[in-house]
Amino acid sequence: MRGRSTASPSDPDRPDPAPAPTGQRDVRDRLRRDVGIEDFSDAHRPLYEVKANLFKGVSHPVRVRILEVLAASPDDVPVADLIADTGLEASHVSQHLSVLRRHNLVVAERRASQVFYRLAFPEVADLLAVSRSLLVKILERTHDQLTSTVNSAAPPSPAHARNPTHPTTPTQSPR
Write down all domains in the chain, each with its CATH number in brackets: 32-146 (1.10.10.10)
pTM for this prediction:
0.61
Give the pLDDT band of residue 2 (cuts 50, 70, 90): very low
Give the integer Cα–Cα distance in Å for 35 and 39. 9
Pairing of strands 77-78, 114-119: antiparallel
Encode pLDDT of 89-134 as tens digits.
Answer: 999 999 999 999 999 999 999 999 999 999 999 999 999 999 999 9
Give the pLDDT band of residue 153 (cuts 50, 70, 90): confident
pLDDT at 163: 58
Encode pLDDT of 5-32 as tens digits.
Answer: 444 444 444 445 555 556 666 766 665 6
pLDDT at 37: 54
Exposure of 47 in the CB half-sphere (CA atoms within 13 A) = 0
Strands, E assignment, the chain: 77-78, 106-111, 114-119
Give the integer Cα–Cα distance in Å for 86 and 77. 13
